[in-house]
Every structure is written in C-alpha cells, then in structure tokens.
Structure 1
Amino acid sequence: MRESTGPQSPLTPQSLTPVVTAGYSTKLWDARAPKYSKNVMRSVCIFLLALTFCEELSGYGVNQSLKNFFQKLEWSNKGSNSMKLTYDSLSQFACIAAAFIADQFLGKYRTLLGATSFSPLGFVLIMIAALPSVLENQMLNKVLFCVGLFLGIALNQVGMSSLLVSFGGDQYSPDSPPEQRDYFFSMNLFASNVGVAINYAVFPSLIIATFLPTRSRYVHVPPSKSALASVIHVVVRSAARNFRAKMIVLGTIMYIVAFLLNIVAAFMSDDGEVGQNISYVCGVLIVAATVLWIYYAQDPSFIDGATDSNDIEFDRELIEGVKQVILILPFNAFNTFWWVCQNQRGNNQTIIQQTDYAGKPPSVYGKVAAGYVVAIISMVWTGVFEIIRRNSPVLVYLDADGVTQVVLNKNGGEPMNDIPWYAAIPQYVLVATATVLIQIPTYNVGYDKVPMGLRSVTIALGLFINSMGSTLPSVIVLLFGKYIPANLNDGHMEYMYFAIAAVMILNTVAYVVVMQNMQFGMIPRLGKNSTEEEEEKEVPASKLSVDRRSVN
C-alpha cells in the first residue's frame, strides 16, 4: 500500500500514514493474527463488550442507591440530590483526562487497564464506609465514602466508557465496512444496558479478569503525541487574532468554571443559600457557554492560517483535523439539554429497532432530531404520570390491632401511593428510545468525522457535554424546589417536567435550524445525487474537507 512521504503530523500515529483509499496504512491490522481478523466482533470485541457490561454493572450498582446513602450520611433531600448529580457530572468530566492520557502518553489499552485496576479500590473504600461500625463515626464515614466515590469510582467509570468506544472502533481496519463498526457501537450500548439491568450481581474486579488476559487480541494504536494539546494549542493561538476563536475559548472556560463551582455547591448544598446561589451561577455559565459553542463553532474556517508561537503556520493536516473537531461542537452542545432529560429518570434501557419511511437511510441528523422529539414526549408524559400518581390513594394496611395504617417509605417515611409499578414503564421506555436514537449517532460522529488521532478526544468532548448536562438538573431542582417537598404528594413536581419539555422544544427547534444551516450529518434521498454519493464513499471522513458535507 502506498504511503505518504511527507512529514508526520501529531494527529497521525507515528506508525500510520495517510493514504487516499483508506485514510491510513492498515499494517497494524494486517499484523494481527488471522484467527482474530476473520470475525473481529466475535474474536476481539466480545471481550470489550464484556468489559463494558462489568463496568456499567458495578458503576450503576452504586449509582442506583447513591441518593439514599447520602441521606443516610445526613445530607438533606436537596443536598443528597445535589451530591448525586455532582457524582454524575464528575464521572462524565473524567473522560477528558482519560482521553488526554491515552492519546498523549499511555495509549488506550494501558489507560483502560489502569482505570480497571484503580476502580476496585474505590469500591473497597465505600464498602468499608457502609460497615455498621464505621457508620457510627460520621466524619470517618463521610471521608472514606467521598474519597472512594469521587476519586476511586467517578474518575474512572465514564473515562473507561469513552475509551472503550474508541478502542473498540480501533479494532476495525480502515478498510472494514462501516456497518461493522456501527454494529459494535450498538452492541456496546446493549452490553452497557444489560450491565445496568443486573448491576447488583458481580464484583467489579471481574473487569480486570476479563481485560488483562485478552491483550494479544487487540490492535494497539500507539499514542499520537499531543493530540488534545494540539487542538488546544491551535484554537488558543487562533483566539489571539480571531473573535470567533475567542468566544469558543470563553465558552470552554465557562464550562470548566461551572464544573468546578458545582462541586463546591454540592458540598455546601445544606449550608443556607450559599450553595444554592453558586448552583444558579453554574446554570447561567453552562447555558451561556452552550450558546457560544453553538453560535460561533458553526463555521470553523477561522482556524485557517493559524500560526504557532514562532509565526509558522501549523501543518495543514493538523488544521483540517482541528476544523473537523470544531465543526462537531454545535452538534454535541445541543445534547446538553438532552442530558437534563436523561438525568430525570432511572437507567434501565434497551435497544430498539429503527424503521425507514423517509425514502432514504436514516441520517445522523434525523436520528438525533427524532431522539429529541421522543425526549420531549417522555418529559410531558412523566409530568402527566406524576399528576396521576399524586392523585392516587395512599397504600394502607391493617396492623395487628386491626387499625388502618399508611404504608411508608422506609428511607424517608413518606406515604406510598396505590398505583401499579408497571404504570411507570412508558416513561422509561421513551427515555431509553431517545437514548438509542441520540447516543449511537453521537458515537459515530465522534469516530467517523475526524482523523484517527483525534477520535478519543472527540468522543471525550461529547461526554464532557454530558457532564455539563448532568450539572444543570441540580439547578433546575433548586429552581422548582418549593414544588418538590420531601412528601411529593404535597407538591407539584410535574411543573419541573413540563418546564424541561419546554426547554427541549426550544432546543430541538434550534437544533433543526442550525444543523440545516450547517448541512451537518445529512444524506440525500435514495436515487438522488447518486454520483456524488458514490464519490464520497471512496474518500474517508478523515480526509474530507469540512466544506465537503452532504446536502439534504
């Protein structure tokens, strides 16, 4: 296979070089043992799916009961909710650090192995914190639990998830049909959901037992040396001379400041109005940063001509790669408000089939738009369900003396309503459907639309946005706090769900307008522009100019 002779770019792994037909040399994949290459999913990726299953199984085993345990540690209902959402946010934020370490220093496999080795230590600490003898010492209990939870588990869980997606994609040669990689992304989400469904059953150390012995099966794309640093360097240097770049940098700073302030607010949530006011500041920063990313990142041409500190123009391949990363920012930014919806429910999800009625295959744009619509329906229905639940009679029973007693929630002492458990299923199914429609296309965009060296960074940026979306719910809960008392039968929690639905309507309208303007993630109808479509298939996404986007 012909290899380029030009200078190596930091975006391209040093053992791989761009080519016209496949985008990169396939010698890493060609060197893999033939017995592993015949069926990559069955021989290689099945172990990554098992790793995803174990990771989600152990992580959500903690997540499901986290709010209740914070209350056991004497945080208030509001404070425990804020702490739980901070855990979610920190988990998602960790993917940026994981991508940086993997891309610049260790590579994906070693970073994953390190995370899988460190995570069980966090579980051991929170297990010790839950012992009855330790619970008696409140200070020791809180320290052990918070260190184990935030430093041991949160910093590893989603960092592992983001790397597993890109590492699994790496197992498929650039010559492989895209459908094979898409199938892995779908099965990865399925394995995640199976792990969530039975998360109480397996100890997290099984992750290491699954991952370490299978090392020889994987393709190990070497660290690309400064992939994330290169993106930051180019954008920051561009900000010195371009207003659009300044606004993108400002938006990023706002996101990071909001994330840090949210941690402070969570630990101060029960200290009067200080924590509450900090949360409001976080919400304003996140919304403002999201608007900046959406508005100013639609046209990344401002990166052209960027120079380093010596006024030497950056490598052209680096410029094109950074432009493609920036082009994805508005698409990811819209998911901020989707994650507000996603964080309002439990985590039992399933894969559903998609049917095409539009005269063309489903596009990334169309799938995500459909997911937003389903999310709106789910929030409206959840609000309606809350009204139905609140108006249902309370559960009662006769005690040993024949006196009628109200059935109370053992954790908080609130009365339980007489409504079948299966009546709540539709809201979970709707959110699960939206998750599949939104999350799998987001993975595909992060993997297919950028050069190989930036794939982990792009997927991590998508999960970074999830972190911001996980921060906003705590602000929304505070805004509607007077309608969400400890006894929900005395409140109107449906107001919050209806408000989130209204925000999602605005978000969806803006998404359609912006994506139509950018012509991002769209494909033509079957039978139209067939010549152009066939030409596009011959050129990989990593080699396309940002201006060569399909039109609807």
Structure 2
Amino acid sequence: MEMNGEEYTLDGAVDRHGQPAIRARTGTWVSGILILVNQGLATLAFFGVGVNLVLFLTRVLGQDNAAAANNVSKWLGTVYVFSLLGAFLSDSYWGRYKTCAIFQAVFVVGLVLLSISSSIFLLKPSGCGDEQTPCGSHSNFHINFFYFAVYLVALGNGGYQPNIATFGADQFDEEHPKEGNLKVAFFSYFYLALNLGSLFSNTVLGYFEDQGMWALGFWASTASAFLALVLFLIGTPRYRHFGPKGNPLSRFCQVLVAATRKWKAKRPQGEENLFEVDKTESSMNGDRKILHTDGFRFLDKAAIMTPKDHAEQVVFTQMASLFVEQGAAMKTRISNFDIPAAGMSSFDILSVATFIFLYRFSLDPIVAKIKSETKGLTELQRMGIGLVIAILAMVSAGLVEVWRLQDARKDCPSCVNASPLSIFWQIPQYMLIGASEVFMYVGQLEFFNGQAPDGLKSFGSALCMTSISLGNYVSDLLVTIVMKVSTKGDLPGWIPGNLNSGHLDRFFFMLAALSVVDLVIYIICAKWYKYIKFEGRNGSDDNGDDGQTEAAAEHSV
C-alpha cells in the first residue's frame, strides 16, 4: 500500500506514534540487528550467572551436589514460568516493546543486587569461593538476600525472553515476499545470537568465576545487561509495533461457557451457518482469522445462533548442573591452565552455530529439492529429529561417566571427585546437545510463533519456553526421587557429594530411556496435529485458497 509516495507495510504494523509503518523507515534488519545484539548481550549477562550457579551454590553457600542441582533446576524452571507472565502482559495490555523494556530494567536491577550480595555479604573472607577454599556459613539474611536477587534476575529475564523473539519477528512484514523469508531466517539468527552471547560468559566469565572471582563475573554480567537495555532503547524510533489485543482468557472462557450452555443445540450443516463476527468489528481488532478445522468440533456449538443470541452476541537442563559436576570431577588441567567445567558448554554453542548454518544452507535446500517444495523439513519433523539427537547425547554422557568411574576407582579409589580421564571426553555430549537444540528449539520458536493467533504471538513463544520450564521441574523431581530411592540402606546414592562413590552414569541412561518414551509420545501427537491455516488479509487463506469461515471457538478466542 502506498500513500503520499511512501510504501506502508502490509501486515498492519504501526510505528511508535501509532501510524501505519512506512517500510523504508521502520523495521527490517536495521531493527533486527539491534535486537539480535540486544539478545546476545542479555544472554551473556544471564548465563554469566546461570552457567556457574551450581558451583556457586556448592563452593560459596556450601550445598551438596544434589541440592545444588535441584536448586538450579528450580531456578531455571522459574525463569521460564515467568515467561508466561511476560507474554500475558505483552499480548493483553502492554505490547511487546513496553514489556521488553520493563522486564529488562527488572533484569538489570536483579543483577545489581546479586553483585552487591556476592561481593559484600557472601564472599567474605576474601579469596573464598574457588575449588580449594570454599566459603564458610552465612546468616539467613544474607542467604535470603541472595535468593531474592537471583529470582529477581529470573523474573526480568523470564518476562523479557518470549517477547524479544516475537518483537524481533515483528520487524519483518510476513505479507511481503522478501521480508516474509527474512522473518523465517530471523529465528535461526536469533538463536545463534543467544548462543554467541553465552559463549563469552561460558568461557571468559566462566573461567574467572571458577577461580573464585564471582564478584567480577556478576558485575560484568550487570554491565552487559545494562548495555543491552541502552541499545534496545536506542532503536525505539525504528521499531514496528503491534498493539495488545486484550485479555485472551476472557474470550477463551466465553467460548467454553457458550459451548457448554448450548450442548443440546443441533449443529447446522456447513460452517457458513455458524455465527461470525464481522472482521472489522471482531475482538481481534481486524487480525487474521483462523480457518475452520474439524478438531474440537464440540466448540462449534458456541457459534450456533439461538433466539437469545440475536439479542446478546456472544502453548535442556543437565548442561547447567550435572554435566558441570561431571566435568568438575574429571581432569581439567592442561599444563598450567585449569579448564572451567562450565566452560565446556562452549562446545554446545559452537555446535549450535555450525548446525544452524549447515541446516539453513545445506540440509534444508537439499530436502526441499527432494520434496520438490519451497520448504524442507517441517517444524514438527525438526523437533522429532532434535529428540532423537537428545537421546544420543544422554547415552554419550552415560558412557563417558562409565569410563570416568572406571578410571577413578582404579587409579585412586579413595580420592574425592578425581579422575585421570580428560574433560575433553565431554565434547561429544555437548556437541550432540547443540545439534539437538538447533532442530528442537529453533523449530519450536517457528512452530509456536507461526501457529499462534495474531493476538497471542508472545504467548506462543512463552509456551515454547514453558516446555523448557517443565523439563527443569521434572529434572528436579527426578533427582529428588532418585536420591531418595538410591540412598536406602546407607548407600551413597547415584549423585552423592563424591561422584566417585555414586552412579551418575545410571542417571544419564535413565534420562535416555525416558527420552525414548517421550519420543514415542511426541510422534503420536505430531501425527495427530493438523497445521492451522489463516485467512489472508485479502480474504484468501495463506496458501492461496479461497477464504473459509472459521470455527466458532476460533472466532471468539
């Protein structure tokens, strides 16, 4: 669309003044690159805390391995639960830009308090907190202050993450042929930026923190988060926006209530006989409609017109914990240099970068050519491949632990967490995790963003993060159950303080077996799922078909 010689976007985006967005002056890679750099810096800050948090809990707060792993799992799970809060506020009331700015500010405040807590309260006497000199006990006030700060970090990062991914995608007009392709590519580069940001924190910051310089690492994270917020605000004049659509829960409940009240009503033949709000007057403010499907047909009863209706119309935890503890129990010294156990996750990041480019520029074009289509693997197929690779990663971790235990018990049976096996034997499991993430996480981002209604895009990204949250809480539950069962009869358990007397290998193999069960369930669900189609803004669906009437549940929701 053109007015006064200026071309406007076709997807309904507006600028910061609420006027239709001019294509040449807003969005695209100018905004996209700012958001990618913002994501990289924010991730650097977050993982500057998260990557070595398990070691901070054991060396500074004096927790045992199982308790520290559980606390990290709970913290990571809480991060992703907060993503639902951020997505709700974004889609319903604040919009994505305002939500990102507010939660990033909360993130910075949390990091400032965490840095103050560690440098002033927890690291006294100076020099404690490394592998050789663990810290002593602390007061309840100091511990509670630390947990308040670290969970404030969780709130800020959790509320920000699902919105920044969707806000970045908003900068590309999906109705425009060229920009539509760039929008798909953005998600891959977004995940690459996320991993490149964590590369610095996993290597440089991870090294300093492993040597007991926790305050330096936390203050560096704070500076990175502050710079990320400044860069985000600098891009304000250039951003494209989509306004909030109101509380979706009330509309969802309206459908359920209406369908329940009309459960005896006879459903008319043909979707065209169901009630349909005029597009320009719908509660979705003119957004695209979801075309009718045969799934959940009982909700169609909500759209049956009764006489009364004419008057009243009616959706990867082990690296941060047990992989780190396993690496810390291996040979980490090369010449005079100690490799931080958490720094091995750098190989995960390198794997992510490698497989993103391999997939986008090699595998996907080859598959598309074989299928004679413009697109290669579907999002659901990619997620399935990611699950298979994740199983292989757990098997690899288990085998490494078997070899580590054999060498440790043969070489020094009485030593604590000591093994002559090099930490570099962990490389395959980290590389496999990275490959799994490319297929699983990027596929999830595209799937949830593409399949969510226009008014619930941030919520779709939050569902992606919530699935990670569920994994963290399940990991916490599994560790608790395993330790309770395996410590019966005065046994040390599978994950004791001294890993040489435990069986961490059995835990990894158990996770591999559970992942196989998960894969079977996933395949069943994926075969059952039907991709939704949206009505195009010109009245046809996105695949060029004629417009169809959507289901009643889709109308109101």
Distance 2:262 2:402 in 1: 54
Match of 1:76 among 64, 75, 79: 64
CA offset digits 1:383-415 (Å, max 9, x no partner)? 11110111224899xxxxxxxx9998xxxxx33
* Shift in CA distance, 535/130, structure 1 to aligned 2, threshold 3 Å: closer
Deviation at 1:147, TM superposition (A): 0.8
* 1:91 to 2:64 alignment: no
Is the 1:182–1:444 Cα contact (8 Å) retained in structure 2? yes
* Shift in CA distance, 314/142, structure 1 to aligned 2, threshold 3 Å: farther
Aligned to 1:501: 512
Distance 1:56 1:26 in 2: 27
* Shift in CA distance, 456/302, structure 1 to aligned 2, threshold 3 Å: farther
Q: Which residue identity lines up with residue 222 of structure 1 in the other structure?
A: G
Unaligned 5+ residue runs, structure 1? 3-20, 243-296, 319-328, 330-337, 397-404, 409-413, 523-533, 548-552
Q: What is the alpha-carbon root mean square deviation over aligned residues?
A: 3.8
Aligned to 2:170: 170
Kindly report which structure 2 residues correspond to 1:421-432, keeping only aligned pairs within 5 A, or say none. 421-432=423-434
Match of 1:130 among 118, 121, 128: 118
Is the 1:305–1:314 Cα contact (8 Å) retained in structure 2? no
Match of 2:192 among 190, 193, 196: 190
Q: Which residue identity lines up with residue 167 of structure 1 in the other structure?
A: F
Unaligned 5+ residue runs, structure 2? 3-8, 125-137, 206-219, 264-292, 325-344, 484-492, 534-539, 553-557
- Secondary structure, in 3 states, of the residue corresponding to 2:190? helix
Deviation at 1:237, TM superposition (A): 6.1
Kindly report which structure 2 residues correspond to 1:327-476, keeping only aligned pairs within 5 A, or say none. 345=323, 347=345, 348-349=348-349, 350-351=352-353, 352=355, 353-354=358-359, 355-356=363-364, 359-360=370-371, 361-393=376-408, 414-476=416-478
* Shift in CA distance, 176/62, structure 1 to aligned 2, threshold 3 Å: same
CA offset digits 1:466-495 (Å, max 9, x no partner)? 211110001111232221111111111111
Query: Sequence identity of aligned pairs in percent?
Result: 21
Is the 1:81–1:474 Cα contact (8 Å) retained in structure 2? yes
Distance 1:538 1:344 in 2: 50
Is the 1:485–1:491 Cα contact (8 Å) retained in structure 2? yes
- Secondary structure, in 3 states, of the residue corresponding to 1:80? helix
Aligned to 2:6: none
Distance 1:362 1:314 in 2: 49
Q: Which residue identity lines up with residue 505 of structure 2 in the other structure?
A: E
Is the 1:365–1:520 Cα contact (8 Å) retained in structure 2? no
- Secondary structure, in 3 states, of the residue corresponding to 2:301? coil
Distance 2:525 2:453 in 1: 24
Aligned to 1:537: 543
CA offset digits 1:25-48 (Å, max 9, x no partner)? 4666994455445x812x111011
Which shows bigger deviation, 361-370 or 201-210? 201-210
Between the two proteins, the alignment pairs up a number of residues equal to 426
Distance 1:492 1:213 in 2: 52
* Shift in CA distance, 209/313, structure 1 to aligned 2, threshold 3 Å: farther
Is the 2:110–2:156 Cα contact (8 Å) retained in structure 1? no
- Secondary structure, in 3 states, of the residue corresponding to 1:463? helix
Q: Which residue identity lines up with residue 218 of structure 1 in the other structure?
A: Y
Is the 1:168–1:184 Cα contact (8 Å) retained in structure 2? yes
* Shift in CA distance, 535/149, structure 1 to aligned 2, threshold 3 Å: closer
Is the 2:418–2:500 Cα contact (8 Å) retained in structure 1? no
Deviation at 1:302, TM superposition (A): 3.1
Aligned to 1:326: none
Deviation at 1:238, TM superposition (A): 5.1
Deviation at 1:315, TM superposition (A): 12
Is the 1:67–1:81 Cα contact (8 Å) retained in structure 2? yes
* Shift in CA distance, 345/32, structure 1 to aligned 2, threshold 3 Å: farther
Kindly report which structure 2 residues correspond to 1:58-73, keeping only aligned pairs within 5 A, or say none. 58-71=45-58, 72-73=60-61
- Secondary structure, in 3 states, of the residue corresponding to 2:235? helix
Distance 1:74 1:140 in 2: 16
- Secondary structure, in 3 states, of the residue corresponding to 1:174? coil
